């Protein structure tokens, strides 16, 4: 089939050769700035294209970003990732992966509206038409119980059957079940990865990923070959919420990654929904807290759809709900076709031990830790930064941060990879340890 010319969001057509080079330049820019860059929109607003950015001199760049770190500035002036960008572009074209650049007409419009949009998206499959349709991001714990599985499948199936697009992270647990339910309902679905488009994570979702790509799309901002590092996922979550008109949290513990998506939803002005849970269950502590803080209770699909029916009058099919409700109960067979296993499925190896309970010793340790933090607050008269929820590596990086204003370059200068530095600052910001200040800078709270 003859290659078609690229069309930018301005409607201008670019020749095939120019289009490939244009993609390479966007990828080169994305690799220099890293994911969740606060510099991207400022640079694009001033210079328009990556070509113009790379042609700018130091004075022009500093006029836009006076506090830009020397490492990032040098990389822009030297276009240091050019060879990597050419290799990535060639791989994508050979393997049927679409490259959606920030100025592409196919780039989701809702992503351009957030403060730190991806410069490039890698796409396998076909993106649904988002305009005029309700899109629901469904997130939850990786270690769900039977209640969480039932509710996730039922709500996702019925919402999809009534015309909603389900967006998830394709993670283990409830994310995978939400995607499977949407596919079983005969609907499109979108999965946003925290790794390269060439990898399936977790590996047991290989069949699920193939079905999503066949009947929807898999998206990621990470270049092919990027491993599923833990620090990638907090940044991935902002894309899930940005693509969604509403974010539905089914089950989430107090420190669940699903709550990061919920926080992004609030910042981005999305409707936040939460499923009420057992007040004695650690899995529902996060969702119940969201409800106490003002999230809308998600009691059934009809009530959720009724909240949006006037916004999406032509896209929501309320009449489909009675029939959908007859098929929305999760069964082992409904999940097995995607390589997933339901809790209690006799064919599942981990069925007897799938429910994790906090031991008495763990409970004592957790309470002692909280008491220690409270004692520090009482003695000092002010709150000491609580880093107990951070991973050991994140606590190590937190000690590297200065007391005054800083950028992610303070970490990259100490040989911390750009993606890890950016994502770690994201985690610190979400946990209230630092805050953003003008110029793409941060400071400790």
| 127 part of a folded domain | no
Domain count, the chain: 3
The domain of 291 spans 135-353
24 and 167 belong to one structural domain: no
348 and 398 belong to one structural domain: no
| 111 part of a folded domain | no
298 and 158 belong to one structural domain: yes
| 286 part of a folded domain | yes
The pLDDT assigned to 354 comes to: 39
Beta bridge partners, 415, equal none
Point out the domain boundary residue: 98, 116, 144: 98
CA distances from 8 to 5, 50, 64, 120 (A): 10, 13, 24, 13
User: What beta strand segments (E) does 149-268 contain?
Assistant: 165-168, 189-192, 216-220, 246-249
The pLDDT assigned to 255 comes to: 81
The pLDDT assigned to 348 comes to: 56
Tokens of 28: 């080169």
158 and 81 belong to one structural domain: no
Beta bridge partners, 109, equal none
39 Cβ contact partners less than 8 Å away, ≥ 6 residues apart: 33, 65, 68, 72, 440
Q: Please report, for the domain that includes residue 419, its CATH number.
A: 1.10.10.10
The pLDDT assigned to 331 comes to: 92
| 232 part of a folded domain | yes
Is this prediction's pTM over 0.85? Answer: no
195 and 58 belong to one structural domain: no
232 and 84 belong to one structural domain: no
CA distances from 206 to 211, 213, 339 (A): 9, 11, 8
58 and 192 belong to one structural domain: no
161 and 288 belong to one structural domain: yes
306 and 395 belong to one structural domain: no
- Specify whether the CB–CB gap between 272 and 290 falls below 8 A: yes
245 and 296 belong to one structural domain: yes
| 377 part of a folded domain | no
Q: Pick the closest to residue 130 from 7, 261, 219 (CA basis).
A: 219
| 18 part of a folded domain | yes
The pLDDT assigned to 47 comes to: 97
The pLDDT assigned to 13 comes to: 44
Q: Please report, for the domain that includes residue 179, its CATH number.
A: 3.40.50.450
The pLDDT assigned to 381 comes to: 41
| 126 part of a folded domain | no
Find the helix or strand (DSSP H, E) in which 351 lies.
Answer: none
334 and 398 belong to one structural domain: no
pLDDT, tens digit, 9 for 90 and up, residues 58-67? 999 999 999 8
- Specify whether the CB–CB gap between 391 and 428 falls below 8 A: no
The pLDDT assigned to 388 comes to: 67
- Spell out, as residue ranges, where the chain has pLDDT lower than 70: 1-17, 347-385, 388-389, 419, 430, 438-440
| 141 part of a folded domain | yes
147 and 280 belong to one structural domain: yes
CA distances from 238 to 243, 307, 426 (A): 9, 23, 10
């Amino acid at each position: 089939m003859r290659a078609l010319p690229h069309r930018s969001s301005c409607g201008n057509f670019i020749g095939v050769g120019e289009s490939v080079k244009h993609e390479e330049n966007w990828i080169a820019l994305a690799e220099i700035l890293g994911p969740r860059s606060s510099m991207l929109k400022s640079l694009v607003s001033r210079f328009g294209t990556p070509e113009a950015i790379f042609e700018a001199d130091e004075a022009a760049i500093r006029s836009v970003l006076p506090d830009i770190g020397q490492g990032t500035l040098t990389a822009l002036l030297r276009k240091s990732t050019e060879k990597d960008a050419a290799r990535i572009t060639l791989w994508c074209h050979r393997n049927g992966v679409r490259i959606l650049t920030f100025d592409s007409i196919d780039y989701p419009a809702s992503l351009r509206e957030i403060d730190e949009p991806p410069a490039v998206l890698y796409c396998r499959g076909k993106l649904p038409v988002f305009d005029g349709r309700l899109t629901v991001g469904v997130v939850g714990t990786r270690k769900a119980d039977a209640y969480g599985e039932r509710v996730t499948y039922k709500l996702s199936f019925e919402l999809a059957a009534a015309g909603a697009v389900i967006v998830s992270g394709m993670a283990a647990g409830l994310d995978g079940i939400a995607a499977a339910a949407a596919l079983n309902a005969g609907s499109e679905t979108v999965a946003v990865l925290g790794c390269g488009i060439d990898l399936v994570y977790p590996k047991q979702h290989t069949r699920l990923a193939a079905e999503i790509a066949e009947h929807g799309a898999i998206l990621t901002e990470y270049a092919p070959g990027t491993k599923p590092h833990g620090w990638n996922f907090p940044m991935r979550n902002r894309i899930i919420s940005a693509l969604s008109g509403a974010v539905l949290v089914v089950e989430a513990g107090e420190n669940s990654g699903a709550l990061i998506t919920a926080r992004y939803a609030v910042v981005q002005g999305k409707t936040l929904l939460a499923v009420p849970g057992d007040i004695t269950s650690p899995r529902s502590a996060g969702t119940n807290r969201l409800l106490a803080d003002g999230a809308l209770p998600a009691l059934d699909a009809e009530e959720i759809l009724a909240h949006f029916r006037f916004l999406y009058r032509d896209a929501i099919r309320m009449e489909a709900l009675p029939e959908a409700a007859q098929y929305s109960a999760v069964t082992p067979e409904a999940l097995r076709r995607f390589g997933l296993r339901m809790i209690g499925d006799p064919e599942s190896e981990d069925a007897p031990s799938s429910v994790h309970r906090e031991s008495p010793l763990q409970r004592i340790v957790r309470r002692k830790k909280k008491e220690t933090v409270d004692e520090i607050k009482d003695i000092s008269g002010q709150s000491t930064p609580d880093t107990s929820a951070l991973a050991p590596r994140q606590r190590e990086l937190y000690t590297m941060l200065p007391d005054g204003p800083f950028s992610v370059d303070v970490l990259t200068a100490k040989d911390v990879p750009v993606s890890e530095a950016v994502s770690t600052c994201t985690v610190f910001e979400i946990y209230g340890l630092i805050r953003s200040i003008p110029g793409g800078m941060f400071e400790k709270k």
